Amino acid sequence: MDQLFDLDTWINLLNQYKELGIFIPIFFAMLESFIPALPLIAIVAINTNAHGLILGFLYSYLGNVLGSIIVFLFFRAIIKPRFLDRFYHGQRLRNILIWVEKQSPIFLFLISCLAFTPSAFVNMSFGLSGYKKRQFVISIALGKLIMIASLSLFGHSIGQVQENPIYILFSLIVIGCAYYFSTHLRRNSGIDTINKNYLYIHLTIIRFESSNLVNQL
C-alpha cells in the first residue's frame, strides 16, 4: 500500500510505460472512444508524464481523434444499414436522430472541446444519423485539439507539482471551468436527456447482432 504513495514507484512505472513505444499511448487514447468508462483525463496524464508534454499531447490527440472517427464510421457503414431501417420507428431512436439533425458543426465543435461530455454517445448517434462525414471529422478534430491540449497541461502539471505547485492550481482552475461549461452546455442543449436513450439503443444493437449471429450458427 505504501508503494502507491511512493513517487519513485510511479516514476519507474512511467519509465516502463515509455519504453513500450508510441503505439501503446495512441492505442489507450483510442480505446477511450470504444470504452467510455475509461478515464481520458488519466490516460492523457500518463501519456504526458511518460513522453513529455508535446509528444504526450500528440499521442493522446491522435489516438482520441482516430478512435472517434473509427466509431463514427463503424456505426455509419456497418450498424446503420443493418439496424436503422428495422428500428427507426422506435421513439427513442427517432428522438436521438432528430436531435442530431438539428445540431450545427459549431455545436459539435463546442461539445468536443469539453472533457465532460458523453463522447461515446456523440460518436454513435452522429454515425447512425445522416450527418455529413466531413463536418463531423473537422468539428471533432478541431474540438478535441483544444480538449486534449487542456488535459495535457493538467496531466503534465501533476508531474511538476513538486517543482512548482502553481501549475496544479492553474490546471485545476481550467478543469473546473471546463466542467462548469460542460454541465451548462449539456443542460441547455438537451444532450443529457437524449443521452438517457444511449444505453437502451446500445443494448438493442447488441441483442440484434447477437440474434443474427445465433441464427447464422
What pLDDT score does 129 carry? 85
**Residue 4 to residue 113: CA distance in whole angstroms:** 32
What pLDDT score does 7 carry? 42
Grid cell in block for residue 163: 517543482
What pLDDT score does 109 carry? 92
**Residue 10 to residue 197: CA distance in whole angstroms:** 40
**Residue 166 to residue 108: CA distance in whole angstroms:** 33
**Residue 205 to residue 191: CA distance in whole angstroms:** 21
What pLDDT score does 49 carry? 81
CB of 73 within 8 A of CB of 128?
A: no
What pLDDT score does 5 carry? 40
CB of 87 within 8 A of CB of 204?
A: yes
**Residue 46 to residue 13: CA distance in whole angstroms:** 10
What pLDDT score does 119 carry? 82
Taking alpha carbons only, the member of 144, 152, 158 closest to residue 112 is 144
**Residue 169 to residue 179: CA distance in whole angstroms:** 15
CB of 86 within 8 A of CB of 191?
A: no
Going residue by residue through the chain (217 aa), what tens digit of pLDDT does each one get?
A: 444 344 455 456 666 766 777 888 888 889 888 877 778 888 888 888 888 889 989 999 999 999 999 999 998 998 887 776 666 556 667 777 778 888 888 989 988 888 777 788 888 888 888 889 999 999 999 999 999 998 888 887 776 666 666 776 777 787 787 778 777 777 776 676 666 666 566 556 555 555 555 555 5
What pLDDT score does 113 carry? 87
Q: Residues 38, 41, 44, 45: is their CA dihedral positive or negative?
A: negative
